[in-house]
Amino acid sequence: MDVSKSWSRALSLGYGWKILPHPAHSQDQAPSEFHLFGPLKRHLGGMAFETEDDLISELRNWFDNLDVDFFRVGINSLLSRSQKCIDLHGDYVEK
């Protein structure tokens, strides 16, 4: 038995807790990260950097030029996406 199953079993027996399965596409990132990686991936797509400093410079530029509502909009979308996940009993949720 792997450690996570052993830990889950101990919690179930010791506290009477029900351990819910962890969906493959869960929201286990910080809320600020939830909305971050897709747009960042699209922005960096196709770019090549000669040095790490070039990459860091591009990242700083991208963050400096984000719209002031970028994170607010992303975090606010968590509620509806979380509800979809609940309604689908943890199945994968498309936008």
CATH of the domain at 50: 3.30.420.10
Q: Can you give the pLDDT at residue 3?
A: 47
pLDDT digits (tens, 9 = 90+) for 39-85: 999 999 999 999 999 999 999 999 999 988 888 888 778 777 778 87
Residue 58 lies in a domain: yes
**Residues above pLDDT 70, as percent of the chain:** 58
> What secondary structure, in 3-state letters, does the chain show?
CCHHHHHHHHHHHHHCCCCCCCCCCCCCCCHHHHCCHHHHHHHHCCCCCCCHHHHHHHHHHHHHCCCCCHHHHHHHHHHHHHHHHHHCCCCCCCC
Residue 16 lies in a domain: no
pTM: 0.53
Q: What mean pLDDT, rounded, does the chain reach?
A: 75
Q: How many domains does the chain have?
A: 1
